[in-house]
Amino acid sequence: MKKRILGNLEVSALGLGCMGMSGTYGAAPDGAEMIRLLRAAHEQGLTFFDTAEAYGPFANEELLGEGLEPIRDDVVIGTKFGFDIDLATGARRGGVNSRPEHVKAVADAALKRLRTDRIDLFYQHRVDPNVPIEDVAGALKDLIDEGKVRHWGLSEASVATIRRAHAVQPLAAVQSEYSLFWRGPETELLPALEELGIGFVPFTPLGAGFLSGKIDENTTFAEGDFRNLVPRLSPEARKANLALVEVIKPIAARRNATPAQVALAWLLAQKPWIVPIPGTTKLHRLEENLGAVDLELTQADLAEIGEALERIDVEGERLPDAVLKMTNL
């Protein structure tokens, strides 16, 4: 497996987004099966696993703690703090909470759930407008000095916030959505990260599965599947947005690849410090995604995609309004 660097943290060129392993896309899959998938990912060279206290809450971290414990020293675990969740009960109180004392308590709780003595990459899941980012960075500096956290990052943060945070305690990575479906980071975020030497971890790199080419306007998502709430994945929007999939299908056919592999290879080709984290609960999808690491698109391929994207207007917002309002972009 090829490696990439986030700040000065080495990880596999592709990571695994683990959120769906404890729900989000309908009913939670079987835990034992997900543990087998985690270990299969490691066996195939993947070393970077992404979770968060909010996934469950707590269930996803507990799953990774059990699944990765035997191989802990061989993997990099990224988890997140920042939502206002009762640490005793897991009850969501609504909103965000990045008060330094809460951040430190979340770190201690996450260490126990993950069955580890350090968090490799600790992200602020959403920026807290009521806590200066300098105070958050100070709390992370303390955690890093104590050895509980190795590196830290931000998720869905503006360039101004990133600069302020980085000045107090250097960031290893920033997470945000980025794919053929959503190219917002290209304008300001990617140039700033390159300037500062911060890595980028795109989530939803396959557009919640849409770029796989397996979803159209007639697809029915399961009850409880988050995609039922996403405006750009409404049946009408899906029908219009299939134009994106049509762009990558002929390239996939020429390269003996799948549309998903082309979509991931496109992301990997943008910058050498980009590490996408596609999620899956199926071994064959994991293997398909990993195949993208060795798919090197030519300049002609990239130009063809770029020219086609200029002619396509994606229909629908990337997230529900309530979720968009919690971003700091």
Tell me what pLDDT residue 171 has. 99
DSSP state letter for 29: P
Which residues neighbour 109 within 8 Å (Cβ) at sequence distance 6 or greater? Answer: 53, 87
Q: Where are the domains of the chain?
A: 3-324
pLDDT digits (tens, 9 = 90+) for 230-270: 999 999 999 999 999 999 999 999 999 999 999 999 999 99
Spatial distance between the Cα atoms of 171 and 284, rounded to a whole number of angstroms: 34
CA-to-CA dists, residue 243 to 63, 249, 309, angstroms: 37, 10, 9
Q: What is the mean pLDDT of residues 129-136?
A: 98
Q: Which among 25, 55, 123, 178 is annotated as catalytic?
A: 55
Spatial distance between the Cα atoms of 116 and 72, rounded to a whole number of angstroms: 8
Which residues neighbour 101 within 8 Å (Cβ) at sequence distance 6 or greater? Answer: none
Residues facing residue 279 across a β-bridge: 17
Tell me what pLDDT residue 94 has. 87
CATH, range 3-324: 3.20.20.100
Q: Which of 268, 263, 260 lies closest to 305, judged by CA? A: 263
Backbone angles phi, psi at 209, to 5 degrees: 95, -15
pLDDT digits (tens, 9 = 90+) for 287-315: 999 999 999 999 999 999 999 999 999 99
* E strands present in 51-177: 76-81, 83-85, 92-96, 119-124, 149-155, 173-177
> pLDDT tier at 26 (50, 70, 90 boundaries)?
confident
Work out the mean pLDDT of the chain and round it to a whole number.
97
178 is catalytic: no
Which residues neighbour 15 within 8 Å (Cβ) at sequence distance 6 or greater? Answer: 46, 48, 49, 50, 78, 201, 275, 276, 277
CA-to-CA dists, residue 278 to 90, 115, 256, 308, 318, angstroms: 26, 24, 20, 23, 16
Q: Which of 227, 187, 184 lies closest to 209, judged by CA? A: 227
Tell me what pLDDT residue 271 has. 98
For β-strands 16-17 and 9-12, DSSP reports them as unpaired
> pLDDT tier at 104 (50, 70, 90 boundaries)?
very high
Tell me what pLDDT residue 23 has. 82
